[in-house]
Amino acid sequence: MNYVQKGIHALFSILIAALFTHTITPASSAQASFQSHCGTLCSHYDIVVIGSEIQGILLAKAAHDLGLNVLILDPRNKPGGELIEGEMWFLDEPFDKHGHSLVQGSIKPLFDGYDKGTIRKPVEFENYYEHLIQGIPLRSSIAIQSVQFELEKKEKSIHSLTYTAADGKIYTVQSKYWVENTDFSALTSKLDEKRIPGMESLYDGKNNKPDYMAATLMLKFKHVNWSMLHQAVLASYPLQNLIKKYGPNTYVDGSEATGFSNIMRTYKPHDNGLMLRGMNTVYQRNGEAIMNALLVYNVDPANPASVQAALYRAKTEAPYILNFLRQHIWGFSKAELNGFPDYLYIRDYNRFETKYVLNEHDVLNGNMFWDNVSIGGYSLDLQGTTRIREGIGFGQPDRYGIPLRSFLLKSYDNVIVAGKNIGATIKAYGSARIMPNTALAAEAIGIILGKERSKPLAELTPDDFKRIHYYLQTKYHIVLDK
């Protein structure tokens, strides 16, 4: 095929895709008609995942292992999301009121390795991630051009999606299900669904202007004397004296350090759009440590220029923070910066209404649902914004259920949201957002998609879920009904 023929072929594919935008035709005839004109630049899948955050990857792997045809389309230049590109390696673990860990499923080996100290370095996290994506086609640096819909059904349904790939060519893909798995609503922002109010709902009754929790640039250090830090804290006991000296929630063991708010809050950033909070630092071995403490306000993850500007501002601040730590934190007197992540840790962005929006009463009351896909835990912890700079908390729940319906977009019959895109009120989101809660849900959904092929997700019944929960427990040791 010469270049002229290739150009004509690409143009023809675009025109065909356009013909199906917002058309109302029976699904079967539309499928047959589309496939007959699809050509080499169109492909068909059971599931297309947009983005490479760990939660959607777990969904993709579970479905792929059960024989479904899965494709991952990632708008980022490299795969990995917050876990790999953002290097968010201070892992928050949910526990119930009895101190039992709530981590289940394929995310558990990551947390077990983290707790044991065997997964702390970049290559160790990368090996875990690469094992999950093995055998699943993944295309990075894609840009969504258009979304085509089927409108005849009671609920809206995505029929196909057209995107530009890194090679500059335009492709069209069809799928039975679509998964929003980015941290900037790459797919759902195009679907005209109602946004769930965010942080602004805590102080603005009109909810006019969205407000988001700060992002973080993880700070990496080498030549840290962790033993000195640990011993300094032990020497400050009893607990009352420790709190008076360093602030509440100050704790150091052989691998993690938290708190030190009395010291950390005295740091005055050179950039007013930044703030240094409590330490939240994990020791990676051999004098290396990584800190989740530098908050970056006013980051728009959907705007690459905003992200790059935030990265620049935070990296510029890092040497000043290093000098501060050298002077004020035991064990950091000889520390040096140890490079920077390629991306930010994004906590919060636009989320859209799902078939059930989890609320703070569900979380605090420990509600369980007939369609549980996760058992969650963790405090209702909302990080700072420009209006609430130090964040705010709303209590510590016991275990609670998270239903499948909180991951199904409200007005669509084939759009799943993964990870931090969960449908939850902002207070409930403060707890539900952490990785183990949504990772378990994503994996469970992937398994359900692989096993329940004869019935759409939105049509599953309580009786179906009795069977599903039994299967998940006996086959995967995932317990979701209590």
Dist CA 88 CA 434 (whole Å): 11
Dist CA 73 CA 62 (whole Å): 17
Widest CA span in the chain: 79
Same domain? 220 vs 321: yes
Mean pLDDT of the 424-439 span: 98
Is 242 within a domain? yes
Give the tokens for residue 245.
């000296």
Instruction: Label residue 207 by pLDDT band (50, 70, 90).
Output: low
Dist CA 402 CA 390 (whole Å): 28
Same domain? 373 vs 480: yes
Closest CA to 332 of 415, 456, 220, 171: 220
Is 191 within a domain? yes
Same domain? 358 vs 314: no
Number of domains in the chain: 2
Mean pLDDT of the chain: 91
Dist CA 158 CA 290 (whole Å): 41
- End-to-end CA distance of the chain, in Å? 60
Mean pLDDT of the 42-62 span: 97
Same domain? 382 vs 438: yes
Number of H helices, E strands in the chain: 14, 18
Is 423 within a domain? yes
Instruction: Label residue 16 by pLDDT band (50, 70, 90).
Output: very low
Is 343 within a domain? no
Burial grade of 474 (CB within 10 A; 0-12, 13-18, 19 or more): exposed
CATH code: domain of residue 191: 3.50.50.60
Same domain? 144 vs 226: no
Dist CA 373 CA 89 (whole Å): 25
Is 342 within a domain? no
Which of these three, 312, 337, 362, is where a domain ends? 337
Is 122 within a domain? yes
Same domain? 70 vs 152: yes
pLDDT at 396: 94
Same domain? 163 vs 263: no
Mean pLDDT of the 55-74 span: 98
Range in 29-33, 49-53, 420-424, 453-457 with the lowest mean pLDDT: 29-33
- Collapsed DSSP state (helix, strand, coil) of residue 147: strand
Instruction: Label residue 399 by pLDDT band (50, 70, 90).
Output: very high
Dist CA 120 CA 255 (whole Å): 10
Is 175 within a domain? yes
Give the tokens for residue 279.
């330490």
Which of these three, 288, 307, 337, is where a domain ends? 337
Give yes or no for a contact between 185 and 349, defined as CB atoms under 8 angstroms apart: yes
Instruction: Label residue 152 by pLDDT band (50, 70, 90).
Output: low
Same domain? 199 vs 147: yes
Same domain? 62 vs 115: yes
Say yes or no to pLDDT of 22 above 50: no
SS (H, E, C) 249-318: CCEECCCEEECCHHHHCCCCCCCCCEEECCCCEEEEECCEEEEEEEEECCCCCCCHHHHHHHHHHHHHHH
> Could you please report the per-residue DSSP string of 34-72?
HHHH--TTEEEEEEEEES--HHHHHHHHHHHHTT--EEE
Give yes or no for a contact between 48 and 178, defined as CB atoms under 8 angstroms apart: yes
Say yes or no to pLDDT of 9 above 60: no
User: How many Cβ atoms are within 10 Å of 210's Cβ, its own excluded?
Assistant: 16
Say yes or no to pLDDT of 236 above 60: yes
Dist CA 417 CA 352 (whole Å): 9
Mean pLDDT of the 280-305 span: 97
Is 5 within a domain? yes
Q: pLDDT per residue over 246-262, tens digit each? A: 999 999 999 999 999 99
The residue segments making up the domain with residue 297 are 215-337
- Collapsed DSSP state (helix, strand, coil) of residue 233: helix
Same domain? 280 vs 408: no
Same domain? 152 vs 241: no
- Alpha-carbon dihedral sign for residues 160, 182, 125, 429: negative
Which of these three, 289, 314, 337, is where a domain ends? 337
Judge if the upstream peptide bond of residue 238 is cis by omega within 30 degrees of 0: yes
Same domain? 11 vs 60: yes
Global pTM?
0.90
